[in-house]
Structure 1
Amino acid sequence: ALMKEIGLQAYRFSINWARILPDGIGAVNQEGIRFYKELIEELKKNEIEPYITLYHWELPYELYKKGGFMNPEFVEWFGYYAKVVAENFSDQVKYFFTFNEPQCFIGLGFLNGEHAPGLKVPVKDTFLMAHHVLMAHGRAVQMLRQYAKQNIEIGYAPTGTMSYPATEKEEDIEAARQHLFGINEDSNNWTWNVAWWSDPILKGQYPEEGMERYREYLPNIKESDLKLISEPIDFYGQNIYNGKCIRMGNDGKPEEVKRYEGFPKTAMGWPITPECLYWGPKFLYERYQKPIYITENGLSCHDVISLDGKVHDPNRIDFLARYLGQVKKAKEDGVDIRGYFQWSLMDNFEWACGYNERFGLIYVDYNTQKRILKDSAYWYQTTIKTNGENL
């Protein structure tokens, strides 16, 4: 009802793998299937298009005990899960994403230990995990297509810090482009880049610069692996929250323009850089030639219930107006952007930050579980109604 009130046209949600397959493989839990069927039915009834994400960081514990991403069998486990999803939901759902932000669940989960399971494993192991994840993506694409009950569309939703040029000068634009697709020099933080995670899927090969730089850490990468990883997809999702300002240095290499003291930031301390939603999709579309969805974008604010019982969040309205204005501009300039998903519908459990960070258009009073539409939800409602004419 709240989604309907805001006027949402689409809702992206993930399926918890263990909820429908308690052991990750094998027996299907019909209760879990029913839960999602009811959700999908309710969305369709309210004319909201469901978009399913197969994996948003919930690995069945039974598979984790068998080595999880380290186990080469992970590719087939994930394929089986995709088959079960296609068999049960593809009659009602047309759009699917395989993985959400592999950079995070490998980088934060296994490289620096910030997110669950909180491990710091050798760098070499994380490259093997990443390779298995990309192969699993390809296997899922095959299985979804094979078992789909209608003509479905499939995509992928990585994340990344975008790069935007300091000026409109050609050399700065080129510097930003190079920076966006460059490879992180710090192997202890290697997961934060775009090309390593997207080139294999959309160009059929890992970036040469990375193959060079990371040579000592790489698993054995076979031609057949790359063929599987690059199974054709229909669209490309990108989670975009912020970007870095880049100019061409005197040495002919891209350099980051330092932010001034007091640069605008969100409550989470993330920089506010609307330009990233123009240049990011533009560069991605140029390189990968696939229709683009902005699969996540939003901010955390210090939201509170005011004396009048409402939640006033002018910062969020200002942020969204600036960022969506850039999406509109990119679309007008020929970038094939198919949709934008705001993160998030409601305040929720924000990974390592718990309930401290509020990203929702809807305020959740955790004490009473009461939901209150924030001012931004009403602003968003107008934006949807006018298809962005108010921007």
Structure 2
Amino acid sequence: MDPTGVITIIGLAWRGLICENLLSAIQADILKNVARNVTQKSLRKFPDDFLFGAATSSYQIEGAWNDGGKGWSMWDHLVRTDPDHIIDGTNGDVAANSYYFYEKDIAILKELGANVYRFSVSWPRILPFGRADYINPEGIAYYNTLIDRLLANNITPFLTIYHWELPQNLNEQGGWLTEDIVDWFGDYARVLFQNFGDRVKHWLTINEPSVHCNLGYAIGLHAPRIKSPGVKYYECGRHILLAHARAYHIYKNEFAHQGGKIGLALDSEMSMPSSNSPEDIQATEDCMMFHLGQFAHPIYSETGNYPQRFIDLIAEASARQGLPESRLRSFSQEQIDYIRGTGDFLSINHYSSNYVYRNASVVNMHEVPSLLDDAQLAFYKDPSWPSSFWIATYGPGLHKLLVYIKNNYNNPIIYITENGFASTTGLNDEGRVSYFREYLTAVLDAIDDGVNVKLYCAWSLMDNFEWTFGYSIRFGLYEIDENDPEKTRRPRKSALVFKEIVRTRTIDMDYNPDPYASSAINKKTSIVLLAAISLIKTVF
């Protein structure tokens, strides 16, 4: 049947119930829907088993900082002892108030059609004093309820065990700079496996070790604000690898019957040579080794351990500085074997890319000692890339990164667990819309190239406390007014576009929803519209 005829029949049948102008609007809506469905038949589609989701982290959204038996995290400590360090003077005390408004989060996940919700557990909400000798029943109850409600709505939980929310008690005992944390983290992970593992089947141990160690223990921007870029940065990373491995082995040895998968959430930009010179090509490979390789190679390579180039460059820099041994503490063979293979998948967070170079100008460019001085390189972003804050949009970089992982780490299952664009307030976030379309196109390109990528999670589900930036920048698909006690979630244009991508499993570059449009259609008309769309689907 001709689609115009179908719409005419519907119009005649319901003319007595709805006004002429409104009927015309509904007819136009249906015609656009039909045209879009026809167009999408020629678009590339994501595979049927490909998953879409959104991500958040506990301190950034939960609020209830001292409710429900929760202890202090090192971020609770930072925002009280050094509030001026946060650009806009805000904190995560309330944030999106997801501790109380988790049903709103589930509602917008359903609205998006999300298959997956990646969230983190607050270590001090489960273990208020950091150690497993006291488990907070209210914290267990909160996450039990959240997990149960997600599953009831056909949303798969991807649970991050640690997203930078270290209990302050443990921070004061050395935190990630003491090897004791390997035991502390293992005990904490065991508590989560015991309480949630019957339902949670996807575990991320630690979020972005490179970023966490750099911002927290190298340049001192994040909690605990320690500045030691050439020593404590490496100690932090070493202990994170050991702690991750401890959690992995606890799961495999004690909870394998639960049938879940476990991995480490890595981050990486894509490095590309600034020129075709041998120096820039080598610098680019070194940059990848110093960022992704530092944490991926010990787990996913056949040999394990740090990349040899990483080991050698730090040793050479240490010798130049007159040190008797390398600032990078080596792993024993037993530790290398313990860490190697501790990943059932490779989780990657990616935002942007860089051009890399090495010439005489980099020799005295960086602080000594530091990771960048050890690597003896520098990088920059192409000024033509659309940018916002530190993120520059270059979708092909994600494609290159995914292919790089495939080629260097034996084509593992890849979950993209963060990817997103920064903006300010407002619903019409065209920059984020373009970003998602470009980066999701890159994912399709990678799939065409045989990369085993199975999940894409947008960062983030809604506006959150963005660490030292507070609320001065926004990453949310949904806007939240932090001054609104109800923390109403309002969809940005990017949410509407993302929802359409999830629904159709295609990227329609012409889809142009209006986030400010208010519906004038009453309930009865909505029923008519749904009936009309159902009839159209039947016909076509």
TM interval, short-chain normalised? 0.7 to 0.9
On the 8 A contact 1:86/1:147 being kept in 2, the answer is: no
CA 1:256–1:80 in 2, change beyond 3 Å: closer, same or farther?
closer
State which of 447, 456, 474 in structure 2 corresponds to 1:331. 447
How many Å separate the matches in 1 of 2:457 and 2:496? 16
CA 1:331–1:262 in 2, change beyond 3 Å: closer, same or farther?
closer
Q: Which residue of 2 aligns with 1:321?
A: 437
The C-alpha deviation readout for 1:361-382, integer Å capped at 9, x for no partner, is: 0000111122101111111111
Kindly provide the amino acid, as one letter, of the partner of residue 296 in structure 2.
S
2:314 matched to 1:214? yes
On the 8 A contact 1:285/1:291 being kept in 2, the answer is: no
Kindly provide the amino acid, as one letter, of the partner of residue 386 in structure 2.
P
Name the SS for the 1:326 alignment partner. helix
TM-aligned CA deviation for residue 2 of structure 1: 1.1
Kindly provide the amino acid, as one letter, of the partner of residue 260 in structure 2.
I
Q: Which residue of 2 aligns with 1:383?
A: 501
The C-alpha deviation readout for 1:150-173, integer Å capped at 9, x for no partner, is: 111111111122124789xxx79x
2:404 matched to 1:283? yes
How many Å separate the matches in 2 of 1:56 and 1:205? 24
TM-score normalised over the length of structure 1 = 0.88
Q: Which residue of 1 aligns with 2:151?
A: 44
On the 8 A contact 1:183/1:210 being kept in 2, the answer is: no
Kindly provide the amino acid, as one letter, of the partner of residue 65 in structure 1.
E
State which of 71, 74, 86 in structure 1 corresponds to 2:178. 71
Greater fraction of residues in helix: 2
Name the SS for the 1:33 alignment partner. helix
Q: Which residue of 2 aligns with 1:62?
A: 169
On the 8 A contact 1:177/1:283 being kept in 2, the answer is: no
How many Å separate the matches in 2 of 1:36 and 1:224? 36
TM-aligned CA deviation for residue 196 of structure 1: 1.1
Name the SS for the 1:92 alignment partner. coil
How many Å separate the matches in 2 of 1:104 and 1:322? 24
TM-aligned CA deviation for residue 231 of structure 1: 4.0
Q: Which residue of 2 aligns with 1:349?
A: 465
Name the SS for the 1:384 alignment partner. helix
Bigger RCO (CA 8 Å, 6+ sep): 2
TM-aligned CA deviation for residue 142 of structure 1: 0.8
How many Å separate the matches in 2 of 1:256 and 1:122? 16
How many Å separate the matches in 2 of 1:247 and 1:111? 22
Q: List aligned pairs for 1:176-215, cutoff 5 A.
A: 181-183=285-287, 193-203=291-301, 204-215=304-315
2:399 matched to 1:295? no
Q: How many residues align?
A: 370
Q: Which residue of 1 aligns with 2:520?
A: none
TM-score normalised over the length of structure 2 = 0.64
The C-alpha deviation readout for 1:215-237, integer Å capped at 9, x for no partner, is: 22022421111112224321001
On the 8 A contact 1:163/1:179 being kept in 2, the answer is: no
How many Å separate the matches in 2 of 1:259 and 1:103? 20
2:220 matched to 1:113? yes
State which of 455, 472, 475 in structure 2 corresponds to 1:359. 475
Q: Which residue of 1 aligns with 2:74?
A: none
2:258 matched to 1:140? no
How many Å separate the matches in 2 of 1:81 and 1:3? 28
TM-aligned CA deviation for residue 147 of structure 1: 3.3
Larger radius of gyration: 2
How many Å separate the matches in 2 of 1:4 and 1:298? 20
CA 1:202–1:257 in 2, change beyond 3 Å: closer, same or farther?
closer
The C-alpha deviation readout for 1:68-122, integer Å capped at 9, x for no partner, is: 1122111111111111111111101100011111111111101101111111136
How many Å separate the matches in 2 of 1:220 and 1:381? 47
Name the SS for the 1:194 alignment partner. helix
The C-alpha deviation readout for 1:208-265, integer Å capped at 9, x for no partner, is: 111112122022421111112224321001111001246999xxxxx98965555421
How many Å separate the matches in 2 of 1:11 and 1:177? 38
On the 8 A contact 2:217/2:236 being kept in 1, the answer is: no
On the 8 A contact 2:385/2:394 being kept in 1, the answer is: no
TM-aligned CA deviation for residue 129 of structure 1: 2.2
Q: Which residue of 2 aligns with 1:18?
A: 124
**Structure 1 portions without partners, runs of 5+:** 185-190, 250-254, 305-310
Query: Which is worse superposed, 220-229 or 84-93?
Result: 220-229
On the 8 A contact 1:53/1:96 being kept in 2, the answer is: yes
How many Å separate the matches in 2 of 1:332 and 1:261? 29
